[in-house]
Amino acid sequence: MDRSSFVNIVVTSLEKTLFEGDFGKPQNFVIIEVGDYYLQIASSRGAHKVYCEAVSNEFLVEGDQLSEDQKNSILKLGFKDVLSEENYSIEMPCDSHENRVKIGVLFYRTAEIYGSTSITDCRVHIG
C-alpha cells in the first residue's frame, strides 16, 4: 500500500474517534493490523492528544519477533521502550489535521519497520 493511502486510512479512522461518541470518555480506539503486527490509538471525542502503541515482542510469536535493529528503529521514531508486558508507546498531539497526518506518517514508518505497509484490518471502536 502506498504511503498516502496508508496515512489517509489512519487519519480518517483517528478522526472518527475524535469527532464521534461522548465527550471526555476515553473509550474510543483504532486498531490497525499490518500482517502479524498491529498499531493502536486510544482517544476520546475532543481529545487534544492521543495515546499510540506499536506491538512489542511481548505479544508476538517467536517467528515474528522483532530484531534488535527493528526495536532500535522503533525507538528512534520516538516510541518509549517497553518495560515488561507492554507495547511501545508514545503520546501525540492530534489537535490539527497536520498533527493527525504526523500520526499517520509515524504509523506508516513503523509499519515499514515491521516489514509490511499493507493494512490487513482496521477497526474503529467508539465507546
Mean pLDDT by 10 residues, the chain (127 residues): 97 93 77 96 92 96 96 97 90 97 98 97 92
Q: What is the DSSP letter of 60?
A: S
Report the distance separating Cα 96 and Cα 113, nearest Å. Answer: 26
Nine cell digits for residue 78? 520516538
Domain extents in the chain: 3-125
Nearest to 29 by CA among 59, 51, 8: 51
Question: Judging by beta carbons within 10 Å of its beta carbon (0-12, 13-18, 19+), is residue 11 exposed, middle or buried?
Answer: buried
Report the pLDDT value the prediction gives residue 127, as an integer from 0 to 100: 78
In the CATH hierarchy, which top-level class contains the domain 3-125? Answer: alpha beta
Report the distance separating Cα 2 and Cα 22, nearest Å. Answer: 33
